[in-house]
Chain A
């Protein structure tokens, strides 16, 4: 039984098959990239995996548990956390509060303990603050601790979203275009950061990314989607040479490229 197993997953929106018979498995602590042209179904797959949508066919198993009937919050409790393509921070909360909010499920004290300011509450709260601050520190966000999330720069917001996802202590992290909107320097730093994260925390990571340099640099294994259909899977070198991929994504794409705009 593998860590994450996607079996024959399909989903259709009206007449459009956004994903068609997607099948792959992921081992614990593995990092895999998912690439594909716009509208290939990458984000849709993340939404299936996190319970935002239910697949119309097939199923997803995480550590042997069947995910389809679970709510998004229950899936998170199993150890899957994500970031969003269009950043979804809590804009009116400070950076640290964004991170603190993510500790919700792990919190042992009840609301009553909080109201009565019991020792249990105070100790746990102290620990949550300490952990949140350590995470912010690691992602170079400590300076913006009390800044509202909406006031952060785009790159900082992306990193804060990763911090927030990590604060739920996941085993599998889903990153949806983490490098989008970053400049070259920020991207290089991000690659290092994700690599460290993967190495030090023993996380499995699924990475959706448009920037080929980021994906090829980070992921030993890459899955390519096109129009909801998985067309290739392999190492960066194999993917680079795969004629199907070149046709769909990198090569003679002139007609599609125009269509995409």
Chain B
């Protein structure tokens, strides 16, 4: 401890957790659209995230330097920049966005990551969305595994050893800007009359069809939009970590986001956002218990689910029951 000042630790660790919270808000909210609002059980959300992370990282690593040199950022200072980042003494800088040229590359990388994930969402969605419940869960689980295997066997992005040397473009601002954007888009969509079709599909597909709501179209919209934002989350994650490993995006990662959605309350925008914050902090706080961490974490989730089966935030954001209750 004595070698570090309080500020060093405070900044590095706090920035890490705070940024991770932002990314998890994006991931949980995008999954909320698919599972919570539309009721399509997706166990491959980490797969979308991985696609976004790797495609955006590949862009900024391979195409980024050219683009920066065109924009007048000298290659030397770029190399310096990457080296500088790798040392890890950058923590205080991560609160603030990097240079304008870098942010320009970063924005393209994020969009590319989002689009890659959205495309995969479309490719996955069209053939599998006729599956229901458990079957869809298995299919999406398979999708997540396939993504991991493909990454492990793609040498240009490091294969199984991992993808190194990704510039750190993510900052507190970019992450929370994207988180706010995700919440805004999902919130606006689902609250509009047209977006009620998501919940309608979740509640009763046959009734929705009889009212002129085309189930396939609605589900694909949910999948593509959700996948897009998962890809954005992945891009932000890649450019925060400098390093990617396919193992990060495993099945357990998908489950982690499912837990956030369930704990926050299916189709509850702010509840799921709050659950993302709560669970990220909880997970970080339990780190000191090492081996007991997962046990305590799981037990807490079980207790919370029993106590509040509709999600932690359900009661806070719901209006009080008013008038006479008409039936039990």
- Residues of chain A touching chain B, judged by Cβ–Cβ distance below 8 Å, are 50-52, 71-74, 76-77, 81-82, 84, 88-93, 97, 100-105, 107, 109, 111, 114-115, 117, 121, 124-125, 128, 143-144, 146-147, 151-154, 156, 164-165, 167-168
Choice from B185, B200, B206, B325 contacting A52 with Cβ under 8 Å: B206
Q: Chain B interface residue count: which class?
A: 20 to 34
Residues of A within 8 A of B211 (CB): 73, 76, 81, 101-102, 104-105, 164-165, 167-168
- Residues of chain B touching chain A, judged by Cβ–Cβ distance below 8 Å, are 184-185, 188-189, 192-197, 199-200, 203-204, 206-215, 221, 319, 323, 325-327
> B192, B204, B323: which has the most chain A beta carbons within 10 Å?
B192
Please name the residue on chain B nearest to A102 by beta carbon: B211
In the complex, are the beta carbons of B327 and A151 less than 8 A apart?
yes
Please name the residue on chain B nearest to A151 by beta carbon: B326
B310 shortest CB reach to chain A, Å: 10
Please name the residue on chain B nearest to A97 by beta carbon: B196
Residues of B within 8 A of A82 (CB): 210
In the complex, are the beta carbons of A72 and B189 less than 8 A apart?
no
With contact pairs A71-B209, A90-B204, A151-B325 given, residues A100 and B189 touching in the complex (Cβ less than 8 Å): no
A63 shortest CB reach to chain B, Å: 16
In the complex, are the beta carbons of B203 and A91 less than 8 A apart?
yes
Residues of A within 8 A of B215 (CB): 73
In the complex, are the beta carbons of A72 and B319 less than 8 A apart?
no
A-B pairs, top 5 by smallest CB distance, nearest first, are A90-B203, A76-B212, A114-B192, A105-B212, A88-B207
User: Can you spell out 6 A-B residue pairs with CB atoms less than 8 angstroms apart?
Assistant: A73-B215, A81-B211, A91-B203, A100-B193, A114-B188, A114-B192
Residues of B within 8 A of A144 (CB): 326
Residues of A within 8 A of B209 (CB): 51-52, 71-73, 76
> B185, B197, B212, B213: which has the most chain A beta carbons within 10 Å?
B212
A107 shortest CB reach to chain B, Å: 5
Apart from A104-B196, A111-B189, 10 more pairs, CB < 8 Å? A52-B206, A71-B209, A100-B193, A101-B197, A101-B213, A103-B193, A107-B193, A114-B192, A151-B325, A153-B326
